Amino acid sequence: MSEVEGTVQGHRDGHGFVVREGAAADLYLSPQEMRGVLHRDRVKARIVRYDKKGRPEGRVVEILERRKTPIIGRLLSENGVWLVAPEDKRYGHDILIPRNAIASAEPGQVVAVELTEPPSMHSQPVGRVTEVLGEIDDPGMEIEIAVRKYEVPHKFSDEALAQAAALPDQIRTADRKGRIDLTDVPLVTIDGEDARDFDDAVYCEPAKVGRSKGWRLIVAIADVSHYVRPGEPLDADAYERATSVYFPRRVIPMLPEKLSNGLCSLNPHVERLAMACDMLVTAEGEVEAYQFYPALIESHARLTYGEVAAILTNTRGPEAAKRADLVPHLLDLHEVYRALLKSRAVRGAVDFETTETQIVSDENGRIEKIVPRVRNEAHRLIEESMLAANVCSADFVARAKHPALYRVHEGPTPEKRTLLQNYLRALGIGLSIGDDPKPAEFQAIAEATKDRPDAAQIHSMLLRSMQQAIYTGINSGHFGLAYEAYTHFTSPIRRYPDLLVHRVIKALLLGKRYVLGASTSADALAERTKGTKPPRNTGEAKPAVSPELEPWQIAGAHCSANERRADEASRDVEAWLKCRYMREHLGEEYGGTVSAVTSFGLFVTLDALYVEGLVHITELGGEYFRFDEVRQELRGERSGLRYVIGTRVRVQVSRVDLDGRKIDFRMVHDDAEEAALMRARRERNAERSQSAADELSAIKGADRSAKAATRAKTKSRSSAAGSARAAKNATRKSASARGSATRKSRG
């Protein structure tokens, strides 16, 4: 059998997989095979068999590389034996700690462990404590665990901190050289109430575009590239992080605070360096012309989404009175936003309304409440302005035929497309997607079904059918936004791809080409991303990569992987906080909505708390529930009860697994629901009983008819047999009489 190389990905249940690059299927590793390896080890494995579904199973033949990063867990003492139970259950092994290697740690504390002896088929791994993080209940401990568990860089190098400290506190005269002075333009920043860094400012005024009415829209973005130069310590650290990571109450920034909250933050009433995207927008929302240039700006106000929404709603209200000089410009911004929306509708871009939540924490970092983030006109206004600038940057780079990092979002894979087509057909909606889906088809379905009771289910299926957006040097367009080319330009403080796009644009403005430096070399990437699961290949042939494009592909894979890592770390912390919060509500009942349906149960999101948990299929009732993959529903075979996304239910919090980040619910039926359920069961049973009685009656009737026919046939046969016997007897008597007469004549 063939041998393959890959990275081990453990599972909390004890088994694991060898993850291979590209579209190749993962190899299943049994719990026995996992005894000699650890999660994220790089191995060579042999395919030994295929299961009934054609999935390969493997056996590890060689360990190519052991993962050397510290393992986070709790220190325990059992019968005089010290060990660490890893926080990440995918490791599957408790780590033995010699008595002289526990440092100053106490039992129950969270520690970081370095392995001194790897596991084998016959022995557990051995390690030593390298860092004591503290008690599990310490405020912020869940974040300390997550950043180490997911290997998020959270400490800047001494060289980067020294370089940041050496930067000036204010704009210098030399920094102004070659820049357009926009300090008299009333640019403003519009962000959330809790924002600390401001990387974009906007301004709009009416303008003639050709012979028609239009607008001049300026989007000014912090010029991070002026301070973070290729190959310098700040750049190396920024590339390693690739993105800022946002946790409740804490942010791990991509850049040191002096830059992210200081020099590069567009704070009000101070001069800042920026890259401006200056656009002319038509009444139909089309960008007729644009130009990029380095600028010197001064934000005239720091506005919040709520404040701007209130001004747009009531231009004579108290909020508008405080910002009277800015109200006309905000109204112009609103007008250009409405025009950009027209263009969005013409393109057929996908636009689903989803509910995002925000965790409000107390002083100890625990959840106080979870509230929905309400998107208002101000949110959408800024989003459309940023989209316009991002599209212009992509067009500028593409026209110059210069490599860069594109934000690519591809359409559904063939498998997901087929599943969605079957689902829409089963619902009888009357609309579907073609074999070459277009964004407008998705948006048309969303619009046509938005008022249906099962709209949430349909929109969820539409979203889940799409692929995840990635960064890549090869432009394949953005499916969801319906753009032929799209880049990220508007957030260089917190995203490295944006910083690279800025550098490319600056080089092009000077008539030069930007060459990606050594900080994104293949060796550097390999060292930083070992064990990272690559994005799945869709199986389509990819264009050959030129030597100039290759470093961009490497940088794109690195930034995409670190973006996923940041998302996973953030979700892990939020899940831990929600589990901790729900432990205080065990046994309580809540109303909720089914948010996902699987073969093993339902995921339900609670109405008031916005917390999701699982109702296992065994908790649904005393009958067998069958999962319909096409309709995405669970249906009771006896009662006919159906559960789909959007179904309203009432549940009880039955179990919270803090280590596994899982919450379990138990289904609760009130008297009316129970009566309706029992009535449905009785009616179904009555129908089945009546059907059975009718069937039995039919069988009995058929039996009677068969018996009557048999009796008639038997009687007919008996009559015929009697006639035959009578004739035979008559013949015998006649023969006997003839014989008697003959004897008499002879005598």
Q: Beta-carbon neighbour count of residue 289 at 10 Å?
A: 14
pTM score, two decimals? 0.84
pLDDT at 243 over 70: yes
Alpha-carbon distances of 121 from 60, 85, 94, 591, rounded to whole Å: 11, 19, 14, 49
Sign of the Cα torsion 531, 536, 541, 543 reads negative
The whole-angstrom separation of Cα 149 and Cα 157 is 20
In angstroms, the CA 161 to CA 234 distance is 8
Contacts of 497 (CB under 8 A, 6+ apart): 242, 405, 407, 471, 487, 488, 555, 556, 559
Please compute, for residue 593, the number of CA atoms within 13 A of its CA located in the half-sphere on the CB side: 13
All structural domains of the chain with their residue ranges: 3-99+108-130, 174-410+471-521, 419-466, 585-668
Residues in the chain: 747
Q: What is the chain's mean pLDDT, rounded?
A: 87
Residues 32-80: tens digit of each pLDDT: 999 999 999 999 999 999 888 888 999 999 999 998 889 999 999 988 8
In CATH, the number for domain 585-668 is 2.40.50.140
What is the C-alpha to C-alpha distance for residues 320 and 315, in angstroms, rounded to an integer?
Answer: 5
pLDDT band per the 50, 70, 90 thresholds, residue 527: very low
Written in H, E and C, the secondary structure of 230-259 is: CCCHHHHHHHHHCECEEECCEEECCCCHHH
- Does residue 714 surpass a pLDDT of 70? no
The tens digit of pLDDT for each residue in 106-146 reads 999 999 999 999 998 889 999 999 999 999 888 889 999 99
* CA dihedral of 395, 400, 402, 408, whole degrees rounded to 10: 20
Is pLDDT at 413 greater than 60 in this prediction? yes
Quick check: helix, strand or coil at residue 156? Answer: coil
98 three-class SS = coil
Same fold? 3-99+108-130, 585-668:
yes
* Architecture of the domain made up of 3-99+108-130: Beta Barrel (2.40)
Separation of alpha carbons 600 and 617, rounded Å: 5
pLDDT digits (tens, 9 = 90+) for 318-363: 999 999 999 999 999 999 999 999 999 999 898 877 777 888 888 7
Q: What is the pLDDT of residues 679-690, one digit of tens each?
A: 655 665 566 556
Residue entry with tokens 């800047």: 156
